[in-house]
Structure 1
């Protein structure tokens, strides 16, 4: 049995209250992982081309108010 399948089995056995607490915890955990990856990508310059394209679009009037 893989770790993932063990987690799936354990999660499927949680009570409603524990599942809710787990869901809240996981959303926070996942957001922190996402934020860390984004910060690393920014620091490494992986998003520079996207930022330059967005700024160029803004300067050239290709952005609209929503």
Structure 2
């Protein structure tokens, strides 16, 4: 599994988006990341105001299941 993108890169992408320096597709090309990464990052930032890496849904569900079966 590849390493997660740095907080610095995430912040630069969000700042460029806020400054309207291009479309999401153009920003993906500019920062050499996937379009889906930019889309998820912007959506998460709009929802939470943060650029931190969000826990994946699958991880959250598997942890919740494991903790229920242990109890």
| Smaller-chain TM-score bracket | 0.3 to 0.5
When normalised by structure 1's length, the TM-score is: 0.33
Q: Which has the higher contact order (CA 8 A, sep 6+)?
A: 2
- Higher fraction of helix: 1
Larger radius of gyration: 1
> Normalization by structure 2: what TM-score?
0.32
